[in-house]
A and B are shown apart, each in its own frame.
Chain A
């Protein structure tokens, strides 16, 4: 926190003005070109999502047509087919796995991150490296041992197994993320709290957590997205009782016959909860950023 002793950085537009003659027309054209380019890039990135939504209202033959059809008679057949196929259970499983694992991750990661950032001990760096090193091994390399162990102790096709794995999968990331948010907290604030006689729990609850709320929201959102979209463990370790939404998505695909429209409808339904979670977390993020001492 030494920025206040440095001179503010020079404003780049000031430099422009001193070195180049002002050409408002040219700048406006450049700005318009940049806006157009931004729109183009945004559209290119948004196109697959738009196409998915459009395809979900098509009949299979329309969805598979070449050249692609932009105009067609919309239908809700695909949504009806997905909803009638008993997809509720998949959504319920996904919701349980996502919410429970995210809560456990937060409960474990917030104190852990507090410890490694605000009260570090001798080997903290090693601990942090150990955390992140657990993410370096590709999941596919350990799926067979995990599968065999889960089979032997009888927890295949069990939502608890997924919760356990998703917690393990997201915990290192959450600790690292929360650590960076805790590091942003000025030491003076904590010292002031201690001077006023606040206990650790009080400091945590009334000072630290509100200050890192945007961090908690961002971390939770990331954990929710990762758990909700997780496919590999879900595919390999579940069958009927614990199958999650990504497994449902892939089961609408077939190697013989057309499936694009139905897959699109299923995908739209599958992405809705994540979009909603993102929207909620976004509000939280903005609120968190606009309050407290970090501003």
Chain B
């Protein structure tokens, strides 16, 4: 650029140069876009991209991918592994808008029915039926039905979980307390009060209090259900201020405030795992998946001294939740057959055997297949928790955990797209109540108002 005469004085440049400068900037931008255009895949082998949630069992799958690639030399697997919240947001955005980055996605029984209805994910039943030895009747029945839409499985379970209550046997023995076989929440409150020992930094119980539909609202919803309350009645009327729900929430909030862990409003699953495995709480009600950490001597001080009982109940026979991380193939995938090869490998009986032999039997992804519980090596390592886990999974149906037939799918969640947002906002109210910033009644009234907005949509749909 040599347009200016060196002797010209300060006044502005001739106007003629501005368009050129602009052209320069535009060129640079085009050059950048041009860069953006490049990037290609190796044509000789098929590459599939798998988006998964970064939980320990999934990390094991990543470490075992070589085994898959040995069996399938023409398929190259690449993983995107993110924590739950990030993974869920990313996978939802990609699948809903047809972004098409992924050939396999890890979703749950929350997404599967509605995504199947929207046609976002492939019907896997034809693939299942064509795959020899892939025994889909071996999937735990409550899980299988939760992942089916119109009778066909649209995602297949990698592992499943319910919820139960773990307790520290040594602390119970020292205090001379016996845990009932099927405790009620009233009994749990009483035991928590007796074992609460703030002087020694031991709390009676650990319960999630962190805001979020997948944090405090998961255990709390099961408590609401077993008290006879819940989110919506049969006609989609919100019931967050009903006497039953109010009692459930009041009991939960009081229990965690009075005999729970320190800083309850900000503790989630991860915090309770740490506290329980360090022996700083006597009981913990949470996901059955906890066993992989608290029974692992390398990460837990209480391995081998834990007792397990079903989720505490009040008005129902059972109260545990049902959750599963499962694999689905987005409709946008251009490598569906290769994707199924991988999905079926990761959810097959042989994979369980492979994990047991290569990584260790305590690391096996639990709660997906009945046959897992028949493997002698697994039965041996899981002696303390296999039976309670399987019982909890089998009982985790709406019939067992609700006092009325709800108009939605799900136990600890309402399987509608609006629930992520609703659940999180209600969770913030509950968290504020646990922190003592608002009363339970105030929190529930605000929550009821949120739920009414959502309910209106479904009441209209039902009316049509």
Output the least CB separation between B170 and chain A (Å).
19
A160 with B36, Cβ < 8 A, contacts A236-B93, A255-B84, A255-B270 known: yes
Chain A residue at smallest Cβ distance from B8:
A194
A156 at interface, CB cutoff 8 A: yes
* Interface hub of A60, A144, A241 (most chain B Cβ within 10 A): A241
Interface residues of B in 311-329 (CB under 8 A from A): none
A257 touches B93 (CB 8 A): no
Output the least CB separation between B37 and chain A (Å).
7
Give the chain A neighbours of B12 by CB distance below 8 A.
Answer: 119-121
A200 with B6, Cβ < 8 A, contacts A119-B12, A163-B32, A257-B293 known: yes
Taken residue by residue from 180 to 196, chain A's Cβ proximity to chain B (1 for < 8 Å, 0 otherwise) reads as: 00000001000100100
B84 touches A66 (CB 8 A): no
A225 at interface, CB cutoff 8 A: no
How many chain A residues sit at the interface, stated as a range, is 35 or more
B293 touches A256 (CB 8 A): yes
- A236 to B85 CA separation, bound complex (whole angstroms): 12
A197 with B7, Cβ < 8 A, contacts A240-B80, A253-B54 known: yes
B6 touches A198 (CB 8 A): yes
A160 with B299, Cβ < 8 A, contacts A108-B28, A255-B270 known: no
* Interface hub of B36, B39, B54 (most chain A Cβ within 10 A): B36
Give the chain A neighbours of B287 by CB distance below 8 A.
Answer: 256
Interface residues of B in 19-71 (CB under 8 A from A): 21, 25, 28-29, 32-39, 49, 51, 53-56, 59
Give the chain B neighbours of A61 by CB distance below 8 A.
Answer: 298-300
B274 touches A254 (CB 8 A): no
Give the chain B neighbours of A164 by CB distance below 8 A.
Answer: 29, 32-33, 35-36
B2 touches A200 (CB 8 A): yes
- A258 to B275 CA separation, bound complex (whole angstroms): 12
A269 at interface, CB cutoff 8 A: no
- A187 to B53 CA separation, bound complex (whole angstroms): 59
Output the least CB separation between B118 and chain A (Å).
17
In-complex Cβ contact of A148 among B3, B79, B97, B289 (8 A): B97
Taken residue by residue from 134 to 164, chain A's Cβ proximity to chain B (1 for < 8 Å, 0 otherwise) reads as: 0000000000100110010001111111011
* Interface hub of A61, A187, A236 (most chain B Cβ within 10 A): A61
In-complex Cβ contact of A104 among B4, B32, B55 (8 A): B32
In-complex Cβ contact of B7 among A194, A240, A243, A254 (8 A): A194
In-complex Cβ contact of A254 among B29, B35, B54 (8 A): B54
B394 at interface, CB cutoff 8 A: no
Interface residues of B in 91-134 (CB under 8 A from A): 93, 97-102
B93 touches A235 (CB 8 A): no
B97 touches A194 (CB 8 A): no
In-complex Cβ contact of A197 among B6, B80, B100, B275 (8 A): B6
- A164 to B38 CA separation, bound complex (whole angstroms): 13
A65 touches B278 (CB 8 A): yes
Give the chain B neighbours of A88 by CB distance below 8 A.
Answer: none
B431 at interface, CB cutoff 8 A: no
A147 with B2, Cβ < 8 A, contacts A160-B32, A250-B83 known: no
Give the chain B neighbours of A108 by CB distance below 8 A.
Answer: 25, 28
Interface residues of A in 220-271 (CB under 8 A from B): 235-236, 239-243, 247, 250-258
Output the least CB separation between A259 and chain B (Å).
8
Give the chain B neighbours of A239 by CB distance below 8 A.
Answer: 49, 51, 80, 101-102
Interface residues of B in 109-168 (CB under 8 A from A): none
B35 touches A201 (CB 8 A): no
Interface size, chain B (Cβ < 8 Å) = 64
B273 at interface, CB cutoff 8 A: yes
B1 at interface, CB cutoff 8 A: yes
A155 touches B36 (CB 8 A): yes
Give the chain A neighbours of B35 by CB distance below 8 A.
Answer: 100, 159-160, 163-164
A251 touches B81 (CB 8 A): yes
- A253 to B83 CA separation, bound complex (whole angstroms): 6
B28 touches A107 (CB 8 A): yes
In-complex Cβ contact of A159 among B39, B51, B290, B299 (8 A): B39
A115 at interface, CB cutoff 8 A: yes
B49 touches A66 (CB 8 A): no
A160 touches B2 (CB 8 A): no
Chain B residue at smallest Cβ distance from A254:
B54
Give the chain A neighbours of B78 by CB distance below 8 A.
Answer: 240
- A121 to B22 CA separation, bound complex (whole angstroms): 15
Give the chain A neighbours of B39 by CB distance below 8 A.
Answer: 157-160, 241-242
B82 at interface, CB cutoff 8 A: yes
B90 at interface, CB cutoff 8 A: yes
Output the least CB separation between B276 and chain A (Å).
11
A2 at interface, CB cutoff 8 A: no
Give the chain B neighbours of A197 by CB distance below 8 A.
Answer: 6-7
Give the chain B neighbours of A247 by CB distance below 8 A.
Answer: 82
B86 at interface, CB cutoff 8 A: yes
B13 at interface, CB cutoff 8 A: yes
A111 at interface, CB cutoff 8 A: yes
- A60 to B298 CA separation, bound complex (whole angstroms): 9
B54 touches A235 (CB 8 A): no
A144 touches B275 (CB 8 A): no
A111 touches B82 (CB 8 A): no
Give the chain B neighbours of A200 by CB distance below 8 A.
Answer: 1-4, 6
Output the least CB separation between B391 and chain A (Å).
21
A151 touches B10 (CB 8 A): no
B382 at interface, CB cutoff 8 A: no
Interface of B toward A, CB cutoff 8 Å: 1-4, 6-10, 12-13, 15, 18, 21, 25, 28-29, 32-39, 49, 51, 53-56, 59, 78-86, 90, 93, 97-102, 269-270, 273-275, 278, 280, 287, 289-290, 292-293, 298-300
12 new A-B contacts at CB < 8 Å, known A64-B278, A104-B28, A164-B33: A61-B298, A61-B299, A107-B28, A115-B13, A119-B13, A120-B12, A151-B100, A155-B36, A163-B32, A199-B2, A247-B82, A251-B83
**18 interchain pairs, CB-CB under 8 A:** A60-B298, A121-B15, A144-B97, A147-B93, A151-B98, A155-B37, A158-B39, A194-B8, A239-B102, A240-B80, A250-B86, A251-B80, A251-B82, A253-B54, A253-B83, A255-B269, A256-B56, A258-B274
Which 8 residue pairs across A and B have the least CB separation, nearest first? A160-B36, A160-B35, A239-B101, A255-B84, A240-B78, A151-B99, A257-B56, A164-B32
